[in-house]
Chains A and B, each alone.
Chain A
Amino acid sequence: DADVTQTPRNRITKTGKRIMLECSQTKGHDRMYWYRQDPGLGLRLIYYSFDVKDINKGEISDGYSVSRQAQAKFSLSLESAIPNQTALYFCATRDRGRDEQFFGPGTRLTVL
């Protein structure tokens, strides 16, 4: 079983709809991250969390919100989706004091 899972893997929605992307991990890591990936732009950090009570904005947080429901779960929400939020979204985890981030398989979101 994968250590970092994302649901759904693919989602097509319409402009103005509320969307939630979920991330779960079984690695026991305290740090979790949400990125989006666009062609030609690499990965950009949206939000990150060091523990359940710690949420931080990343480079491109406008239009997004997050919730850390438990150490193992970190959700990303688009309150009112717009077409330029069409992208590939990745969740990642990292253990405190370690170098490596572990990425989930990604969620491909299309906003029409």
Chain B
Amino acid sequence: LAKTTQPISMDSYEGQEVNITCSHNNIATNDYITWYQQFPSQGPRFIIQGYKTKVTNEVASLFIPADRKSSTLSLPRVSLSDTAVYYCLAEGRLTGGGNKLTFGTGTQLKVEL
């Protein structure tokens, strides 16, 4: 399983762009990178998924370089409501079927005024 490593915590201010990097040195060829957001007392919520280069949706962008050993979640213009734990997930298929999923330990993002 691809092990993912993230910073334990990050601080930011409202209106700033936040970039959270995830390291996945032994990512497999068929693994995708997925990011989830989790608020206290709630289950994680899907943010974005990508395989390589750049993916953008209405809430975030995901940058994955050519070697795919890391990825960066970019949150534009954060607000107080973006204070949460962000998880990086390496997700791929096992030979013969089935999923392999490895969540990172998460990054606690704190946004202040």
The chain A residues found within 8 Å of chain B, CB to CB, are 4, 33, 35, 40-45, 48, 50, 56, 58-59, 90, 92, 99-106
- Flag whether B45 is at the interface (Cβ < 8 A): yes
* Min CB gap B61→A, angstroms: 16
Q: Which of B25-67 contact A (CB under 8 A)?
A: 32, 34, 36, 41-46, 49
Cα(A48)–Cα(B42), bound, Å: 20
Contact A90 B43 (CB under 8 A): yes
Chain B interface size, as a band, is 20 to 34
Q: Is the CB of A101 within 8 A of B46?
A: yes
Bound-state Cα–Cα, A50 to B93, Å: 13
Known contacts A56-B98, A59-B1; A43/B42 CB under 8 A = no
Q: Which residues of B contact A (CB under 8 A)?
A: 1, 32, 34, 36, 41-46, 49, 87, 97-99, 101-106
Q: Is the CB of B101 within 8 A of A42?
A: no
Q: How far is the CB of A27 from chain B (nearest CB, A)?
A: 13
With contact pairs A56-B98, A105-B41 given, residues A42 and B46 touching in the complex (Cβ less than 8 Å): no
Q: Is there contact, CB below 8 Å, between B46 and A45?
A: no
Could you give 26 example pairs across A and B, Cβ below 8 Å? A4-B43, A33-B101, A35-B103, A42-B87, A42-B103, A42-B106, A43-B87, A45-B101, A48-B99, A56-B98, A56-B99, A90-B43, A99-B32, A99-B34, A100-B46, A100-B49, A101-B44, A101-B46, A102-B46, A103-B42, A103-B43, A103-B45, A105-B41, A105-B42, A105-B43, A106-B41
Chain A nearest CB, measured from B73 CB (Å): 15
- Residues of chain B within 8 A (CB-CB) of A42 are 87, 103-106
CA distance A63 to B102 in the complex (A): 20
Q: In the assembled complex, which residues on chain A have CB atoms less than 8 Å from the CB atom of B41?
A: 105-106
**Chain B residue, CB-CB nearest to A90:** B43
B105 CB to closest chain A CB (Å) equals 4
B16 to chain A, nearest CB (A): 25
Using A33-B101, A42-B87, A45-B102 as known contacts, list a sample of 13 further A-B pairs with CB atoms less than 8 Å apart, ordered by residue number in A.
A41-B105, A42-B104, A43-B87, A44-B103, A48-B99, A59-B1, A90-B43, A90-B44, A99-B32, A99-B34, A99-B46, A103-B44, A105-B42
